[in-house]
């Protein structure tokens, strides 16, 4: 058989390189067949308030990740009405041993109740530190304060998520409701909780951040 050379081989090498780049995200622990266990620790936005179980954020996220080839389970540890304090109180039993990573989505109810952002900051940081002590990494999903709470409150609340992420070197998704907040067609009649389609959009938007998080886990 005649050996191929020139432009033909250049194309072959380029295709091989492209294929390798596609496979790269599944390297390390993710490529070893072991199931990566994530926990979505949050409030009603994670729990799937007034939605069928299969439409809740953790289930939709798990489905999206599996469609991309990841061997992942995402447990739903969302509790409707939960504050950052409530999440801290139930942390140990909500995040069992064997958990590989946590998606932390808390603080919205603190804001809706007008609680001091300093307290929210303290609680979220305590959650991060306790998980760190257990060698469980965190992806921090942020929230923005309602603008009618005033500029001082908004500044203090909005800044706590990037501050915590920077201090503890976390993957940060700045606004959990990005692309959904304020859109009536994507929210339930209460105007605060996403519809099933709204959850799908949340997952589409957060997916690159979750993949970055999984890449970190694969390097551990």
Catalytic residue among 82, 100, 193, 218: 193
Q: Is 44 a catalytic residue?
A: yes
Task: Say whether 49 sits in a helix, a strand or coil.
Answer: coil
Nearest to 158 by CA among 180, 136, 173, 143: 143
Catalytic residue among 43, 44, 110, 158: 44
Six token digits for residue 53: 């179980």
Catalytic residue among 5, 152, 185, 190: 190
Nearest to 108 by CA among 209, 176, 210, 200: 176
Q: Is 190 a catalytic residue?
A: yes
Nearest to 140 by CA among 220, 214, 213: 213
Task: Say whether 39 sits in a helix, a strand or coil.
Answer: strand
Cα–Cα distance between 101 and 136 in angstroms, integer? 5
Mind telling me the catalytic residues? 44, 190, 193
């Amino acid at each position: 058989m005649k050996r191929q050379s020139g432009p033909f081989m250049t194309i072959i090498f380029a295709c091989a390189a492209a294929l390798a780049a596609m496979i790269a995200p599944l390297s390390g622990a993710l490529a070893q067949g072991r199931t990566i266990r994530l926990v979505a620790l949050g409030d009603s936005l994670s729990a799937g308030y007034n939605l069928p179980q299969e439409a809740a954020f953790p289930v939709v996220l798990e489905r999206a990740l599996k469609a991309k080839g990841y061997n992942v389970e995402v447990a739903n540890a969302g509790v409707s009405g939960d504050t950052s304090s409530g999440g801290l109180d139930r942390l140990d039993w909500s995040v069992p041993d064997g958990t590989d990573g946590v998606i932390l989505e808390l603080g919205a109810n603190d804001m809706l109740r007008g609680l001091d952002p300093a307290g929210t900051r303290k609680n979220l940081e305590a959650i991060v530190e306790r998980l760190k002590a257990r060698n469980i990494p965190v992806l921090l999903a942020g929230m923005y304060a309602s603008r009618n709470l005033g500029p001082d409150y908004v500044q203090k609340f909005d800044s706590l998520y990037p501050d915590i992420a920077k201090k503890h070197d976390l993957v940060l998704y700045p606004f959990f409701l990005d692309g959904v907040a304020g859109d009536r067609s994507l929210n339930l009649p209460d105007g605060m909780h996403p519809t099933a389609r709204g959850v799908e959009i949340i997952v589409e938007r957060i997916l690159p951040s979750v993949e970055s998080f999984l890449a970190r886990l694969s390097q551990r």
